[in-house]
Amino acid sequence: MNLLFSINRKFVPLWAQCMATILRHGGADRYDLYVLHSDLTRADQDQMNQVLRPADSCTLIQVPDSLFQGFPVSGRYPLQIYYRLAAPLLLPRELDRILYLDVDTVILNSLAPLYTSDFGGAGFMACSHTRKFMDKVNQARLGMEEEVPYLNSGVLLMNLEQLRQMVRLEDIRDYAEQYRRRLILPDQDILTALFGSRALVLDSRIYNMTDRLFLRCGAVPATRLSLDWVRRNTVVVHYLGKPKPWQKNYIGPLGCFYREERALF
Residue 259 has pLDDT above 80, yes or no: yes
> Are 57 and 32 contacting, i.e. CB atoms less than 8 angstroms apart?
yes
Segment among 67-76, 86-95, 237-246 with least mean pLDDT: 67-76
Residue 36 has pLDDT above 80, yes or no: yes
CA 71 to chain centre: 19
126 DSSP β-pair partners = 201
- Which residue from 184, 99, 178 is spatially nearest to 143, judged by alpha carbons? 178
Distance CA 103, CA 239 (A): 9
Tell me what pLDDT residue 137 has: 83
Render 100-145 in DSSP notation, one character per residue.
EE-SSEEE-S-SHHHHT---TT-SEEEEE---HHHHHHHHHHTT--
Q: Is 234 helix (H, G, I), strand (E, B) or coil?
A: coil
Query: Which pLDDT band, with edges at 50, 70 and 90, does 152 fall under?
Result: very high
Query: Which pLDDT band, with edges at 50, 70 and 90, does 145 fall under?
Result: confident
Tell me what pLDDT residue 242 has: 87
Residue 183 has pLDDT above 90, yes or no: no
Q: Where are the alpha helices (DSSP H) in the chain?
A: 12-25, 42-51, 87-90, 112-115, 132-141, 160-166, 169-178, 186-195, 204-207, 211-218, 227-233, 255-264
Contacts of 89 (CB under 8 A, 6+ apart): 164, 167, 169
Tell me what pLDDT residue 86 has: 94
Distance CA 130, CA 144 (A): 16
pLDDT tens profile 91-110: 999 999 999 999 999 999 99
Residue 146 has pLDDT above 80, yes or no: no
- Which residue from 265, 192, 199, 203 is spatially nearest to 235, judged by alpha carbons? 203
Tell me what pLDDT residue 110 has: 98
Q: Tell me how far apart the terminal alpha carbons of the chain are, to the nearest angstrom.
A: 22
pTM, full prediction:
0.95
Residue 159, φ and ψ in degrees, nearest 5: -90, 90
Tell me what pLDDT residue 69 has: 80
Residue 16, φ and ψ in degrees, nearest 5: -60, -40
Tell me what pLDDT residue 188 has: 93
What's the whole-number average pLDDT of the chain? 93
pLDDT tens profile 157-170: 999 999 999 999 99
pLDDT tens profile 64-85: 878 888 777 777 777 888 899 9
- Burial (CB count <10 Å: 0-12, 13-18, 19+), residue 142: buried
Tell me what pLDDT residue 140 has: 84
pLDDT tens profile 187-198: 999 999 999 999
Residue 219 has pLDDT above 90, yes or no: no
| Average pLDDT value for residue range 106-119 | 98
